[in-house]
Amino acid sequence: AWTHTARFLTTASRLDQLPAHELPEIAFVGRSNAGKSTAINTLAQQRQLAYASKTPGRTQHINLFEVGPRDAPQALWADLPGYGYAAVARQSKLRWQEVMARYLEIRRNLAGVVQMVDSRHGFTDLDRQLLSFVAPRIGNGEVKLLVLLTKADKLNRKEQAESLRRAQAVLAELSTDEADIGITLFSSLSRLGVGDAAETLQHWASQ
């Protein structure tokens, strides 16, 4: 599998610092603490891959990883800053919202967005807002979306079904081709949904 060979490429605090690239890029987004770093590490089968994104000074950066064999990389993964963290100053929040909005709107090689949503809380206003930035490109088939309902191990079967149903209702509002949107209950702990998610990402990169 490609996933064994993911490596850190670069970090950027501004969009113009991101290298232009031909490879399909997959962006990982989510509220801070939604389980994004853990999910990236799990999907890459590398415990420390998204660790760089958590080091002080880099939490407000876009961290770029290259995935696949070194001589034939298959995709880029972009770990976007977690949003909604209460301790971040308002100015800095606004700036980052703008950077993320612009990234999602204009990044040329963006092929897919993986949004981490805590399965216990469901979509928040911020999650919906973030989705709205990229919704036009999902709508016209340019970008695909995969929603991971994270930490599903914390819910029982009935709660899991309910969480999935609610999130699906939110996504239905996007009124796009269903083929461009995926959603799965996900747990890095129990590995629920990990295989499906990995398969989806691989599929996006090979299109």
Q: Which residues lie near ligand GDP (CB under 6 A)?
A: 30, 32-38, 82, 150-151, 153-154, 187-189
Q: Toward ligand GDP, which CB reaches closer, 145 or 180?
A: 145
Rounded to the nearest whole angstrom, what is the least distance from the CB of residue 54 to ligand GDP in the complex?
7
Rounded to the nearest whole angstrom, what is the least distance from the CB of residue 186 to ligand GDP in the complex?
7
Under 8 Å between Cβ of 87 and 2 = no
Q: Toward ligand GDP, which CB reaches closer, 5 or 41?
A: 41
Q: Toward ligand GDP, which CB reaches closer, 126 or 189?
A: 189
Phi, psi of 120 (to 5 degrees): -80, -30
Q: Which of 148, 154, 143 is nearest to 105 (CA)?
A: 143
Rounded to the nearest whole angstrom, what is the least distance from the CB of residue 115 to ligand GDP in the complex?
11
Rounded to the nearest whole angstrom, what is the least distance from the CB of residue 31 to ligand GDP in the complex?
7
Q: Toward ligand GDP, which CB reaches closer, 30 or 73?
A: 30
Phi, psi of 66 (to 5 degrees): -105, 135
Give the CA distances from residue 46 to residues 24, 26, 50, in Å, rounded to whole numbers and listed in that order: 21, 17, 9
Q: Toward ligand GDP, which CB reaches closer, 163 or 176?
A: 163
Rounded to the nearest whole angstrom, what is the least distance from the CB of residue 46 to ligand GDP in the complex?
14
